[in-house]
Structure 1
Amino acid sequence: MPYMIETFDKAEAGDLRLRLRPAHLEYLEAQRHLLLACGAKLSDDGQAASGGLYLVAVESRAEAEAFIAADPFHQGDLFERVFVTRWRQAYLDRRNTLNEG
């Protein structure tokens, strides 16, 4: 079953986020086979990120925790909090997926 990982940046960590971003994006590209979706949580004006949301196709909490632990954002101490939760996919790309294999 997939997992949802929600991250919350430390306060005033915008510069750190920008410095770590290239390595973070490289990591995501290397792990794209696990990504159902992911992206930053943005301010209303779309100018500042304050964390992220990842939906990962892994089989266990341990795998989800290992995924986020290896992210350069996590390794660079960007996050104040990280929540890992099992997730049931119901809709994807505007399509009901509940009855799919």
Structure 2
Amino acid sequence: MIHTFFLIDKPESADLRQRVRPEHKAYLAAVADRIAFAGPLVTDDGQTMLGSLLAIDFDSRDAAHAWLADEPFTRAGLYASTSIHAFVNLWPQKTGFPA
């Protein structure tokens, strides 16, 4: 089942996010074949980072939580809050994909 991750950064954490980002991207690459979508949450300016939104297929909620526990941004203490929700995709995605 797809699980969505709403991950909100701590205030004043832009430098930490940039430092750990290569490790984070490598960690995501390891599950790339199971990612429905992934990307940053941003303010209305489209550039200021607020956190991350991920949708990844896991066998169980426990597996999703275990994956998040070892995620590099989590280990670095970047997130002020995290939540995981099961998600059922009922609408075919037509927009929002990189060119």
Structure possessing the higher radius of gyration over alpha carbons: 1
> For 1:6, what is the secondary structure of its paired residue?
strand
Q: Residue 48 of structure 2 aligns to which amino acid in structure 1?
A: A
Q: What are the superposed Cα offsets for residues 41-79 of structure 1, whole Å, 9 maximum, x if unpaired?
A: 012222221111110111211111112112111111100
**TM-score, length basis structure 2:** 0.87
CA RMSD of aligned residues (A): 1.1
Aligned residue runs from structure 1 range 1-101, under 5 A: 1-94=1-94
Distance 2:45 2:4 in 1: 25
Give runs of ≥4 in structure 1 deviating > 4 Å.
none
Secondary structure, in 3 states, of the residue corresponding to 1:59? coil
Q: Return the offset for 1:93.
A: 2.2
Deviations 1:12-61 (A, max 9, x none): 11111111111111111122122111100012222221111110111211
Q: State the identity %.
A: 31
Whole-angstrom distance in 1 between the partners of 2:44 and 2:22: 24
Structure 2 unaligned blocks of 5 or more: 95-99
2:29, 2:88 → 1: CA distance?
24
Distance in 2, matches of 1:5 and 1:92, equals 20
Alignment: residue pair count:
94
Amino acid at match of 2:55: L
One-letter amino acid of the structure 1 residue matched with residue 35 of structure 2: L
Residue 97 of structure 2 is matched in structure 1 by none
